[in-house]
Structure 1
Amino acid sequence: MKSICNKLRFRIGILVLLSAIFMQGCEETERRSFTEDDLVLIPKPKNLELREGSFSVNSETKLVLAEDSLQIITPIITDLFDQAAGFQLQTVKETPEENFIQLKFNSKLGNEAYNLDVSNDQVILESGSHLGFVYGLETIRQLLPKEIESQSFVDNTNWLIPNVSISDVPQYSWRGNMLDVSRHFFDKEYIKKHLDRMAFLKLNTFHFHLIDDQGWRIEIKKYPKLTEVGAFRVDQEDKHWNARAENDSNAEATFGGFYTQEEIKEIVAYASDLGIRVVPEIEMPAHVMSAIAAYPWLSCTGEAIAVPSGGVWPITSIYCPGKETTFEFLEDVLTEVIPLFPGEYIHVGGDEATKTNWESCPDCQRRIREEGLSGVEELQGYFMQRMENFLAENDRTLIGWDEILEGGLPEEATVMSWRGFEGGWEASKEGHDVVMTPTSHMYFDYYQGNPDNEPIAFNAFTPLSQVYKFRPVLDSMSTAQKEHILGGQANLWAEYIPTEEQSEYMLFPRLTALSEVVWTPEEKLDWNAYARRVQKMMERFDIMGINYAKSAYAITPSSKINLDSKSIEITMEAEFPDQQIRYALNEELNNNSPVYENPISLDTSAILKAAVFKNGQPMGTKLEKEFVFHKGVASEVDYKNEFSDRYKGSGETTLVDVLRGSKNFHDGRWQGWIRRPAVVTLDLEENKSVQDIKVGTIEHQGAGIYFPQNIIVEVSTDNSDFRKVGEMDIDFENNPESLIKDFSVDFEEQEARYIRVSVEPRSFSGRRGSWLFIDEILVN
């Protein structure tokens, strides 16, 4: 019996030892260490030290709060664990000995600063403010595995936080993003979702563009027609934004929407919990046709107008500052707006006001005389001064676009500089606070990749790398000027943003670049390091369900032709550095395709396919481009009507150089004619058998560029006697997109040396004329 007991004890001892070894192995696995490459933090913290080990969050982990008021921000992480990990973090007031995350007040830290210290046993987050705790929790969130973003339970995952010591504070106090909900309306749930994502990136200012010509989006109870009439327009979404017809004021208007005051309160409160201030924009004196459609007496003429369905230029239907009733109306509106937005700032627009009606308006002219103003520019200054005085009386600061500099700037006004950096430079010199938001870096309605592969956008280019180059402060500023630069902001105007999915696509990942350049100290900004992190952040975005753009992976080809040898050389690059590009000629592209290392030479027709490959898979949109070496390549070209100096392509060989244009009609590949046909003659140098002529064209109806109306092809052997061999008429169709199309004129095969192609631009009754663009004439 004793022997049996000893054997039993021995076996139990072995089991205990094995169990201890096993548990130690599990502990070591759970407490694994991380490398700097594992850390995917955007924006990059001011100071970070990575140490050995990690903290494991489990169902026993406690969340220790310094006071109950912090309960409101804990869902930033607790909701994630509830969904993805399947357990809830229990909130307690007493600090356990280990396995806890503690939010601890530190009055020595500034308003937005926080310290984060993670060790094997505990996580200590210190801040002196609500904002700092929000940012610290968002940092913890980003340190956790990306799977924490899952909306459903994730099995077999260790929820580890790397052992780090972080002390962090933003570089600038204004880190903003503007959403235009006037051109296209987005409901409150999308706005709240966007606020969550702003907080994720430590952005702190939501600029809410509530009013514009195409829609009034906020309920004003004293003026119910502002939303009954001004919030809706005739649906013309099947046409390009800038090619939509003027609406009749009596036409049925059904397209639009607005926020009730209760919904506004809900949005503002939601933002406040996340540490985000909401700055409403109540436009004046221009961009207010939606208000004038509701109350025509607000304009100089008093004429009935409709809410426009698309672009308006110039903007002449604006508020009348000669009438006292205009200011009564605006003060009434602001009296209802101010209590809804408890923050410091009210944005009043002030941009793009064409003042021709003021010049002929008796009321405006009387106001100019009575106030001793020099003209309509100073009348706008008078307008803004009155609004600034009213806002100041209500403890609010006026902020407006840089046009408010014209005609005299109200003393306490803040300037948002959008027409480059110059307005901000001038305003800061005069002692005004400034938010930099230049079109060159901060307009997210611009294309971020090759327009051929992107959804329609404003015809300009702001790639991710350009956003990352943004710096709010200029070297040429004095020390005093620099102190007036509050920060920066990105704007997403919504003319071309009809859906939430497209809004996300234009915002992300560019918003991550903005967040870093306005948070992180300039000396720590590094494009290559950021590019590595944002590619990994995209994997988290996949789980978060964000419809982000992969445009930075897209291939940008560049080509040049040697007309003597009739060959072209193609180079390719991607925006992200150090990418593997694979390509294929006249075959399918796959992981075994050649890696691009040197320029590609072509002297025969080919279809080039290329893409960035990562882990054996293509990333982003694949490039597919056809190069056609037709019988007219390098021919001498004679122009009867000269092309425009604004759009001259690469010169007289543009139409026969194989190189095709893109949807960006400013790319230097297009020749343009306005109000007259393109009549060109190609000399093939000898008689050749021909039977088909293709004319490469582009249509961008919003820019006044249309497909041709008619094409005639004539041939000759002596450049004197021309015979018409083919003709085609092209019907007009409404087109909301930008399209490239080759129109083919076929005819019986015959010998010819000279080909004359006459391309007639589209004509419209009552319109001065339209643009005709051509990039190539292909002879087959």
Structure 2
Amino acid sequence: MKKKVGLWLSLIMLLTIFGCADEGKTVFKESDINIIPQPDKVQFKEGAFRFTKDTQFVVPLEYAEVAEVLLDKFSKAAGWNLRVVDTEPINNYVQLVLDDALENEAYNVIITGDKVEVTANGYAGFLYGLETLRQLLPVAIESDNLVVDVKWDIPTVQITDSPRFKWRGFMMDVSRHFFNKEYILSTIDQLALLKMNTLHLHLVDDQGWRLEIKKYPKLTEVGAFRVDQEDKHWDARQTPKLGEQATYGGFYTQEDIKEIVAYATSRGINVVPEIEMPAHVMSAIAAYPELSCLQNPIMVPSGGVWPITEIYCAGKESTFEFLENVLIEVMDLFPSQYIHVGGDEATKTNWEKCPDCSKRVKVEGLANVEELQSYFIKRMERFISSKGRTLIGWDEILEGGLAPGATVMSWRGFEGGLEASASGHDVVMSPTSHAYFDYYQGNQDTEPMAWGGHTPLSKVYEFDPVVEGMTPKQENHVLGGQANLWTEFVPTVAQAQYMTYPRLAALAESVWSTKENKNWSDFSARIDALFNRYDAMGINYAKSAYQVTTDVSVDPENGTISIALKNEFPNADIRYALDGNDITTSSQQYDSPIEIAKTTEIRAQVFKDEEPVGVQLEKTINFHKAAGKPVTYLNKYHDNYQGAKEIGMVNVVRGSKNFHDGQWQGWLGDNMILVIDMETPTEIEEISVGSLENQGSGIYFPVEINVLLSDDGKTYKKEGTLKRDFAANIKSELKDFVIDLNKQTTRFVKVEAINLGTPPTGGGSWMFIDEIIMQ
């Protein structure tokens, strides 16, 4: 009898112990699982596993380093120094289990109330399994400071996961603007969080050589620095004079690179170096002029250069000796299988008149300088292949014939990838349409200056490296996809983060998850959880996806305008107010287009959980006196920029900083002259002319505006003029130029806007006008 009592007491004690362990654990819902990229399969079960200060990690000795991904997080956020052991405890542990049957980078996770098991066939799979656990943990795990009163619970789930593509890349341009080693290391952390495995460093371009090459010290002594013209628009910067002090720039020492590569390896990331050739190399030519055809001394450019004619001479053997010596040092630093050589945007003007290049064309039996570029790349491919590496280049390397072992990175759309894959070459898709993060992601009027184009979060999410028309054989040659951040307009870390995140998350899901598992509506819900993590990490991510945008349509017969409000996220809670009223939680909820027939200020904003998010839309529809009146163009707009044609100047709809928005009328090197018929004598006090300036795109404000009035449409008298001198402008800017008329009554109004004609950089200047407003 005593034995039975003792047995019962023991059972009760065990139940009490395990019951207490479950007591107070977080009760999860399936919607609490917000992993990006979306795994192949997630099976949700009731319950939770709790990390405590006694949780142990059971890790095979050779993979001990991978556990640091979570151990470091717990050390900072919870203040725990969790143990790594080689013997499986009774409970409360995370175990990494080797399974050779799994594919590379694949992993499985099984979470119960007692333990967590991560199964993989090697380092990368274990890493991705732990990164998944990280995303299941409370957001507080991202804190670099001690956080108290947190339940470090994760839901009990089973996850089966593997990547769709083997190349999941991000390119960072560190040439146009230099970013220090610390930022590169932090970028590596963010890539690992999203299971990206390739960091492509654009180390060389016209505006800066960023890698120490010991055999050629002037590459960084001279080529890494340029004259500081950061106060000017990138494409409006002057050519530096020889001898000007060059102070802006920087470079990575070889020790820096070794640290970057080692850290990236610990995070499952391959670092691919890009050493541009034969163009985008003015920084090298500034250091060693003998590398060019003309051998003229030049400075490192401070900004944009087009066309790019100062390129490596393809006729001299010394050019190839230089490049081979550089690449030997590069390959010693970067263990990457792939060496990127650029190969893009070479203007071959100097090759055509260079005797050395002409001799090379003749000796090699080449047809022209296009084939000379092919010779150049093929020769470098043979050298790189001889070292056991693989050459990769932008899709221009297809021109003149592709080197036998080369891989193509297709950026000018998908066509280069289609062509290369059809020829049996591997390709990485990186089209401007989906993968260029230097493009705008929101309303240009509220976004920081960017290169142009429009690549919002939802557009990135649509990216698929495999395109229609590919055969199964071609699909097998698609290694994957990559996002590119070119940094002409990205001078700071804060802006680099803004342009990168959250778009990188959308691209990560596009190259990891299966097509069947991709769903924009579902991703839109999960991205909120990632935003919370970015907040905790202090990342300056863009909230552009929350912006409200408008579709405006004009009904000239009824004299009304219809405004539709939109947002990227499905079923967004958009609220709006008219007549300048503030947006509040009680503001009107948008459900259908708004009809407007008088001057109105509209404000709109997305709300989430009864709180406003993103930038507020503010738009004024000005029904001025000339709205809808007949316009006669005495000097017509350019065919490429016709706006709303005959009613474009008086349709009330204003243009934005996106000069492709269909509202701008443009004149190239020419003046605007038009007449507005007010139809009846009308009192006018002032006239304003709406214009856009974006000097980097060749668009300039008018230098003079004249207003002439007439009662009969035949005899005109100048009644107002505005003159302004050209001024350098780094920004993209909208401006209304106002001419005061002192209340005059007239019927016909002639408006002349005088074009700058020839800008300081040469060529012709565009002048864009969107509306002529009469009050």
Matched ranges for 1:200-219 at <5 A: 200-219=193-212
The aligned counterpart of 2:653 is: 659
530-539 or 260-269, which moves further after superposition?
Answer: 530-539
Contact 1:320 1:364 in 2 (8 A): yes
Q: Which amino acid aligns with 1:179?
A: M
What is the distance in 1 between the residues matched to 2:136 and 2:634? 66
Matched ranges for 1:569-718 at <5 A: 569-586=562-579, 587-718=581-712
1:775 aligned residue (766, 770, 774): 770
2:325 aligned residue (326, 332, 348): 332
Q: CA deviation at 1:21?
A: 8.6
Q: Give the 3-state SS of the residue equivalent to 1:29 in structure 2.
A: coil
Q: Which amino acid aligns with 2:42?
A: L
The aligned counterpart of 1:73 is: 66
What is the distance in 1 between the residues matched to 2:23 and 2:439? 49
Matched ranges for 1:270-669 at <5 A: 270-586=263-579, 587-669=581-663
Q: CA deviation at 1:87?
A: 1.7
What is the distance in 2 between the residues matched to 1:309 and 1:231? 11
Contact 2:670 2:757 in 1 (8 A): no
Matched ranges for 1:71-110 at <5 A: 71-110=64-103
Q: Give the 3-state SS of the residue equivalent to 1:530 in structure 2.
A: helix
What is the distance in 1 between the residues matched to 2:354 and 2:116? 67
What is the distance in 2 between the residues matched to 1:129 and 1:768? 58
Matched ranges for 1:683-762 at <5 A: 683-762=677-756
Question: Once the two structures are superposed, what CA deviation does each residue of 1:476-527 show, in whole Å capped at 9, x if it has no partner?
Answer: 1111111111000000000010001111111111100111111111111111
TM-score normalised by L of structure 2? 0.97
Q: CA deviation at 1:247?
A: 1.1
What is the distance in 2 between the residues matched to 1:528 and 1:421? 26
2:58 aligned residue (34, 58, 64): 64
Q: Give the 3-state SS of the residue equivalent to 2:24 in structure 1.
A: helix
Q: Percent identity?
A: 53
Q: Which amino acid aligns with 1:278?
A: V
The aligned counterpart of 1:14 is: none
Q: CA deviation at 1:20?
A: 9.4
TM-score normalised by L of structure 1? 0.96
83-92 or 252-261, which moves further after superposition?
Answer: 83-92
Contact 1:541 1:548 in 2 (8 A): yes
Q: Which amino acid aligns with 2:493?
A: E
What is the distance in 2 between the residues matched to 1:678 and 1:763? 12
Q: Give the 3-state SS of the residue equivalent to 2:589 in structure 1.
A: coil
Q: Which amino acid aligns with 2:155?
A: P
What is the distance in 1 between the residues matched to 2:16 and 2:100? 45
Q: CA deviation at 1:564?
A: 2.4
Question: Once the two structures are superposed, what CA deviation does each residue of 1:533-559 show, in whole Å capped at 9, x if it has no partner?
Answer: 012211111111111111111011111
Q: Which amino acid aligns with 1:532?
A: A
The answer to whether residue 15 in structure 2 is matched with residue 29 in structure 1 is: no
What is the distance in 2 between the residues matched to 1:714 and 1:61? 83
Contact 1:497 1:503 in 2 (8 A): yes
Q: Which amino acid aligns with 1:606?
A: T
Q: Give the 3-state SS of the residue equivalent to 2:378 in structure 1.
A: helix
Question: Once the two structures are superposed, what CA deviation does each residue of 1:646-688 show, in whole Å capped at 9, x if it has no partner?
Answer: 0010111011010000100011000000111111111111111
Q: CA deviation at 1:760?
A: 0.6
The aligned counterpart of 1:7 is: none
Q: CA deviation at 1:762?
A: 1.7
Q: CA deviation at 1:233?
A: 0.6
Contact 1:657 1:776 in 2 (8 A): yes
Q: CA deviation at 1:695?
A: 0.4
RMSD between superposed Cα atoms in Å:
1.6
405-414 or 172-181, which moves further after superposition?
Answer: 405-414
What is the distance in 2 between the residues matched to 1:355 and 1:674? 28
1:191 aligned residue (184, 196, 218): 184
Q: Give the 3-state SS of the residue equivalent to 2:340 in structure 1.
A: strand
The aligned counterpart of 1:10 is: none
Between Structure 1 and Structure 2, how many residues are aligned? Answer: 762
Question: Once the two structures are superposed, what CA deviation does each residue of 1:273-303 show, in whole Å capped at 9, x if it has no partner?
Answer: 1110000000000000100111111111001
What is the distance in 2 between the residues matched to 1:604 and 1:471? 45
Q: Which amino acid aligns with 1:184?
A: H
What is the distance in 2 between the residues matched to 1:323 and 1:82? 57
The aligned counterpart of 1:4 is: none
The answer to whether residue 238 in structure 2 is matched with residue 245 in structure 1 is: yes
Q: Give the 3-state SS of the residue equivalent to 2:361 in structure 1.
A: helix
Contact 2:669 2:758 in 1 (8 A): no
Q: Give the 3-state SS of the residue equivalent to 2:561 in structure 1.
A: strand
Q: Given the superposition, is the C-alpha separation of residues 753 and 187 from structure 1 closer, same or farther in structure 2, using an over 3 Å criterion?
A: same
Q: Give the 3-state SS of the residue equivalent to 1:618 in structure 2.
A: strand
Q: CA deviation at 1:565?
A: 2.3
Q: CA deviation at 1:765?
A: 6.9
Q: CA deviation at 1:747?
A: 2.3
Q: CA deviation at 1:63?
A: 1.2
1:148 aligned residue (141, 145, 167): 141
The aligned counterpart of 1:50 is: 44
Q: CA deviation at 1:733?
A: 2.3
What is the distance in 1 between the residues matched to 2:213 and 2:76? 39
Q: Give the 3-state SS of the residue equivalent to 1:460 in structure 2.
A: coil
Q: Give the 3-state SS of the residue equivalent to 2:73 in structure 1.
A: helix
The aligned counterpart of 1:166 is: 159
What is the distance in 2 between the residues matched to 1:464 and 1:289? 34
Contact 1:238 1:734 in 2 (8 A): no
Q: Give the 3-state SS of the residue equivalent to 2:660 in structure 1.
A: coil
Question: Once the two structures are superposed, what CA deviation does each residue of 1:90-133 show, in whole Å capped at 9, x if it has no partner?
Answer: 22121110001112222222221111110000011111111111
Contact 1:709 1:763 in 2 (8 A): no
Q: Give the 3-state SS of the residue equivalent to 1:104 in structure 2.
A: strand
Contact 2:598 2:622 in 1 (8 A): yes
What is the distance in 2 between the residues matched to 1:368 and 1:345? 29
Q: Give the 3-state SS of the residue equivalent to 1:305 in structure 2.
A: coil
What is the distance in 1 between the residues matched to 2:599 and 2:109? 60
Contact 2:39 2:161 in 1 (8 A): yes
The aligned counterpart of 2:5 is: none
Contact 2:573 2:590 in 1 (8 A): yes
Contact 1:46 1:167 in 2 (8 A): yes
Q: CA deviation at 1:475?
A: 3.0
Question: Once the two structures are superposed, what CA deviation does each residue of 1:454-490 show, in whole Å capped at 9, x if it has no partner?
Answer: 1111110111111111111123111111111100000
